[in-house]
Structures are given as structure tokens and as C-alpha cells.
A and B are shown apart, each in its own frame.
Chain A
Amino acid sequence: MTVTYWEEEIETLPRVGLESIQLRRLQHLVKRVYRTVKPYRSKMDAAGVKPEDIKSLADLKKLPFTTKNDLRDNYPFGLFTVPMEEVVRVHASSGTTGKPTVVGYTRKDIELWAGIMARALCCAGATKEDMVQNAYGYGLFTGGLGAHYGIERLGATVIPVSGGNSKRQINLMKDFGSTVLLSTPSYALNLAEAMDSMDIDPSSLSLRVGVFGAEPWSENMREEVEKKLNLKAVDIYGLSEVMGPGVAMECLETDKGMHIFEDHFLPEIIDPDTGEVLPPGEKGELVFTTLTKEAFPIIRYRTKDISRLIHEPCECGRTLVRMEKVTGRTDDMLIIRGVNVFPSQVEHVLMGIKGVEPHYQIVVERDGNLDSMSVQVEVSEGLFSDEIRVLENLTKKIQAEIKSLLGVTCRVKLVEPKTIQRSEGKAQRVIDNRKI
């Protein structure tokens, strides 16, 4: 089988060449960020590091980390490096409290992203001949639009169907002859189930490849989705703070890790407790520095995702390092149907409702293939009423506010006081019963 590359030269460049490109881009970035963004400058000054100190890639570790809190503190546009008239698009994802995390793109960034995403799709074996059904959500979430521009850049035909409405998805698949499906893996399984109930045999469809991401999924899930949808399933990684989908992509040749597009994104693995860079091949927290983005570059962003870098050469010939499937988080973030949810956001909603006490618990289950979240709230005397209607309105209100802030529908269950377990130290806010 011949491997098709989108940008063969850079994808197969010997490491020495790649590293010299990375260093040049890093030095340029650090200079620019130091000059244009005050919060970065202050942090670097506090750490006693100047742009000139970055003499090799190993000097990256001298730079301070950037965290989600830095994004929150500079909400909404404080970390942008260009004036707003040069920003042509913004996206946002969940912050840890009420405010989302905002990222911006110049026209050049959008073009860059489209190219990187096209490269990712090419890595998954997609070509301009393909009919690509994009079932990632369109909107503030980077998934839908990010993938969309990449599909167009590849020259394939994009069906911008967005998420949800399974029956329509399947009818389009059938009528248009979709060959590639982009969605969260759990939604893909949901589509398989819907096909079954519509009496549609997946082998009668033209689906060939599924590009699944935005939530953690296991090898077992891969087998299941491949069998049920009669396609080859590949994993894609991305996060809005770094760019969006297309930061790393699995190739067709191996199912052991995703190639990180290192000419744009510089990865590190650190010990989440000490912040020390770990030796090659060790498991730890994934940290990214963007090398080419204009509006919103980011230096040493702590993803909180746990992974490992695979330095061994890949059968596909790409020299780009691979990252193992994300196996966990260093924080309490949950991913519910592809949406990032922080327990602190749920708490923020609850505390905004009069009479609600800070005793709550989030229970996550996987019903069939879809995640479901329920929030248990203890009924204090301040909330209680002798009328059913009043209590039902209360649960509806909590549900609506969580939906509005997080974009996730949850079930709200009122429980008796003192029934949620109290702990000595940190309260156990989340019970995750999913087996991924």
C-alpha cells in the first residue's frame, strides 16, 4: 500500500531538519509574544527569562507554563497578540467556572488550520474523491468548523450536517453516499444503533473511514464501532486552546498513537506535580507550545491530558512523533458527549440559585452508547416546598441553567439532606460509572 502525504517533505523530514525548523519558529514566537502580550512578558520577567535565552529546544523548559486560569484571568481577548481588526474568528470552550475559554484566529491562522486539518484527513486516507459527513457540532466548539475548512482544503465534498438528528444523518449517508464520517466515537455508536432500528445494513452504505475524536475512547470501542459501521476507525486529537481538531492524527498504517504535527505544535510530557519534563517515552501530562499561530499562540499550555510520546519510527514513513491515546486527566474535567464539563461549572450554576446548599454530586453513566449526566442536589429547608409544582420548577430551572452554560442536558434529582457523602478532605463531587 502506498502512503499518501499532504505535505510529504515536512511530514517525512529527518528529525534534525524538523528540529531546526522548530527552534527557529520557537525563537520567533517567544520574541513576538514577549513584545506584544503583557501577561506573557510579566510571567517571563518573574521567571527571569528573556527571549534571547532560548538558544536550543531544550531551553523551552525555562519558559513558564500557561494554564486555563491564565486564559480566564485574561478573558476574553487578553492573550491575543494582534489587534482585533486582524482577528477574523473566535471560538470558545468550557472554562472552569462561568466564563468560557476564548481563542482567536487571523485569516492566516484559519488558512493554516485548514491545511493542518487537510493533512490530518489525508493521514486518515481521505482524498478529494471523498464525500465527508461532518457530524461534529458547528458553532463555538472548534470541532465542526475546524474540520469543515480542512475537508474543503483537501478538496473533498463536505456535508456540513453538524451533530444530532440521527435519522437525517443516516438518510444523507445513504442518499449522498458518504464515504468518511467525522463525529465523536460515542455518537458514531449511536448512529450504528439508529441504523439498526431503521433496518439499514451498514454494509449497504459507502462508509470507508471514521475520524473520531473530542472524547476519550478505548480500543474496545474502536473494535465495536468498526464492526457496527463497517469502516476503519481512526483517532484525532485537538483542543481549542492549541488550535482545535488536527493537532495530532492517527495514520492508517498503525493504530498505535497519533502523529503530532510538530512543525506547528511542540509537545512535551511533564510530571503534573513537579512540572519537570519527563524522559522520552514516559507517561505524564501533555504540554503544547504552538509554533505558527498568529492571533492566539500559546506557550507551554498544560492540557491536563495524560499521554505518552512514542519516538519509534512509524510504518507510514512520517517522522513526526506520536502521542498515545489520552488515558486520563490530571484534573476533574469530564467529557460528556464531546463537551468539556468541569464540576466547578455545575457548582457555579447551583450556587447562583437561592436556597441551594453546596451539597451536590454529579453522576455520569453511559446508557447504551451515550453519556448521561445527572446532578443530585440536597433539598434544604430554603428550597423545600409542600407543593410538587414548586420543586419541579426548581429542577427545571437548574436543568435549564446548566444546559445554557455548559451545553449539556442533565437530569436533576433532588435528594434528602445528608444523603450525599461528606468527606474529610476534598468532597467527591463526581461519580463516573462509565466504563470506557
Chain B
Amino acid sequence: MRVEQIAVFLENKSGRLAEITSILADNDINIRALSVADTADFGILRLIVDNVEKAKTILRDGGFTVGKTDVLAVEVVDKTGGLATVLKSLHRACINVEYMYAFVNKTGENAVLIFRFEKMDEAIEVLQKDGFTLISGAQICAL
């Protein structure tokens, strides 16, 4: 149920994001979701793509520092309170969110929440027990 995410180190310099997205585009890699976290000096680009291994290789060949981590993708109905119920359930189980981001799928009915936890296995257990839908990387790409 885990989803593979790639992370890329970015110095805060103009054009770096454009460069990464062009490399991916030139290699027919589709970005399904992304988020950028930044500080005054650097940023971390996190991506969910349709071909993780290929993306990792070509970015590395392009001179970037690339890492791969597991995240969870939770599908919720796109209505008020959708995110809040997930977070409440995690909070009850004392599971801390390292970071998260979200996107709405094409039909507009559902939203997909991407989570990074320190305690991944416990998070999976809690979310499944509380009846949330975890989706796989393949499912995200098929959306």
C-alpha cells in the first residue's frame, strides 16, 4: 500500500525547477503530484511520477541529488472536512505527520492526500482500521 516518492535537492537558484521538469518531460515521465518545501537556502522537491526508477536515473544523470522514500496516499471524497477526519484519526492514534500534500483527481469527486510518517506501519494499520482508502502508486497513475 506504500507509494514511492522521489525527492530532489534544490538550491534556491532560479531555473532549477524548470530544469527538472524539462528533464522529466523530455523523457516522457508524467508528474502526478508534487510539493516543494523550502528554507532560506535550499528546497526539497517531492514528486510522484509514473516511472520512479527511470525518473531517478535520469535526474541523477542530470547531476541532481535524488532520494526515494515511501509515502501513503489516502483517497477521500472531495468535500468539506475530508482531510480533517483523516487527521483526527491519526491524532487519536498519536501518529505524527512529517509532511503532507494533496491533489484533486480529474473527475473532481475525490481528493488524494499524500502523507509521510515516521511510523509508516502503524499509520497504515490505523487508517485501514478506521476505514480509509489507501491507494497504490499504480492507482495514482491511473487516475
CB <8 Å contact, B65 and A417 = yes
CB <8 Å contact, A386 and B67 = yes
- A387 interface hit (Cβ, 8 Å): yes
Which chain A residues lie closer than 8 Å to B11 at the CB level? Answer: 414-416, 419
CB <8 Å contact, A416 and B69 = no
CB <8 Å contact, B63 and A418 = yes
Distance from A361 Cβ to chain B, minimum over Cβ atoms (Å): 13
Complex interface: stretch among A18-26, A228-236, A376-384: A376-384
User: Which residues of B in the span 49-69 have a Cβ within 8 Å of any Cβ on A?
Assistant: 63-67, 69
CB <8 Å contact, B9 and A414 = yes
Which chain B residues lie closer than 8 Å to A385 at the CB level? Answer: 7, 44, 67
User: Which residues of A in the span 344-387 have a Cβ within 8 Å of any Cβ on B?
Assistant: 379-381, 384-387
CB <8 Å contact, A384 and B9 = yes
Distance from A409 Cβ to chain B, minimum over Cβ atoms (Å): 16
- B116 interface hit (Cβ, 8 Å): yes
Which chain A residues lie closer than 8 Å to B66 at the CB level? Answer: 381, 384
Contact with A along B2-24 (1 / 0, CB 8 A): 00010101110000100000000
Residue from B7, B64, B98 in contact with A416 in the complex, judged by beta carbons closer than 8 Å: B64
> Which single residue of chain A is at the shortest CB-CB distance from B67?
A384
| Given known A-B contacts A392-B39, A413-B41, A414-B41, A386 and B7 have beta carbons under 8 A apart | yes
Residues of B contacting A: mostly: strand
| Given known A-B contacts A416-B9, A416-B11, A416-B63, A387 and B41 have beta carbons under 8 A apart | no
- B37 interface hit (Cβ, 8 Å): yes
CB <8 Å contact, A381 and B67 = yes
Contact with B along A400-436 (1 / 0, CB 8 A): 0000000000000111111100000000000000000
- A90 interface hit (Cβ, 8 Å): no
Which chain B residues lie closer than 8 Å to A388 at the CB level? Answer: 37-39, 44
Which chain B residues lie closer than 8 Å to A380 at the CB level? Answer: 65
Task: Report the separation of the CA atoms of residues A387 and B16 in the bound assembly, to the nearest whole angstrom.
Answer: 19
CB <8 Å contact, A417 and B63 = yes
Q: Name the residue among B7, B10, B16, B41 with the largest chain A CB count within 10 angstroms.
A: B41
Task: Report the separation of the CA atoms of residues A419 and B63 in the bound assembly, to the nearest whole angstrom.
Answer: 9
Distance from A378 Cβ to chain B, minimum over Cβ atoms (Å): 8
- A140 interface hit (Cβ, 8 Å): no
CB <8 Å contact, B116 and A379 = no
Distance from A393 Cβ to chain B, minimum over Cβ atoms (Å): 12
Contact with A along B106-124 (1 / 0, CB 8 A): 0000000000100000000
Distance from A130 Cβ to chain B, minimum over Cβ atoms (Å): 46
Which chain B residues lie closer than 8 Å to A387 at the CB level? Answer: 44, 98-99, 116
Distance from B90 Cβ to chain A, minimum over Cβ atoms (Å): 17
Distance from B81 Cβ to chain A, minimum over Cβ atoms (Å): 28
Task: Report the separation of the CA atoms of residues A418 and B42 in the bound assembly, to the nearest whole angstrom.
Answer: 16
Which chain B residues lie closer than 8 Å to A389 at the CB level? Answer: 98
Task: Report the separation of the CA atoms of residues A385 and B69 in the bound assembly, to the nearest whole angstrom.
Answer: 9
> Which single residue of chain A is at the shortest CB-CB distance from B99?
A387
Which chain A residues lie closer than 8 Å to B116 at the CB level? Answer: 386-387
| Given known A-B contacts A386-B5, A386-B46, A381 and B65 have beta carbons under 8 A apart | yes
CB <8 Å contact, A417 and B41 = no
User: Which residues of A in the span 130-182 have a Cβ within 8 Å of any Cβ on B?
Assistant: none
Which chain A residues lie closer than 8 Å to B99 at the CB level? Answer: 387
Contact with A along B54-93 (1 / 0, CB 8 A): 0000000001111101000000000000000000000000
Q: Name the residue among B9, B64, B67, B99 with the largest chain A CB count within 10 angstroms.
A: B9
Which chain B residues lie closer than 8 Å to A418 at the CB level? Answer: 63
CB <8 Å contact, A379 and B37 = no
Residue from B39, B41, B42, B44 in contact with A386 in the complex, judged by beta carbons closer than 8 Å: B44
> Which single residue of chain B is at the shortest CB-CB distance from A387?
B98
Distance from B36 Cβ to chain A, minimum over Cβ atoms (Å): 11
Task: Report the separation of the CA atoms of residues A379 and B7 in the bound assembly, to the nearest whole angstrom.
Answer: 13
- A391 interface hit (Cβ, 8 Å): yes
CB <8 Å contact, B44 and A416 = no
Task: Report the separation of the CA atoms of residues A381 and B67 in the bound assembly, to the nearest whole angstrom.
Answer: 7
Distance from A355 Cβ to chain B, minimum over Cβ atoms (Å): 11
Distance from A384 Cβ to chain B, minimum over Cβ atoms (Å): 5
Chain A residues packing against B (C-beta within 8 Å): 379-381, 384-389, 391-392, 413-419
| CB-CB nearest 10 A-B residue pairs | A386-B7, A379-B9, A386-B69, A384-B65, A384-B67, A379-B65, A416-B11, A388-B37, A418-B63, A414-B42
Question: Knowing that A384-B65, A392-B39, A416-B10 are A-B contacts, what are 18 other residue pairs whose CB atoms are under 8 Å apart, sorted by A's residue number?
Answer: A381-B67, A384-B67, A385-B44, A385-B67, A386-B46, A386-B69, A386-B116, A387-B99, A388-B44, A389-B98, A391-B42, A391-B44, A413-B41, A414-B11, A414-B41, A416-B16, A416-B65, A419-B11
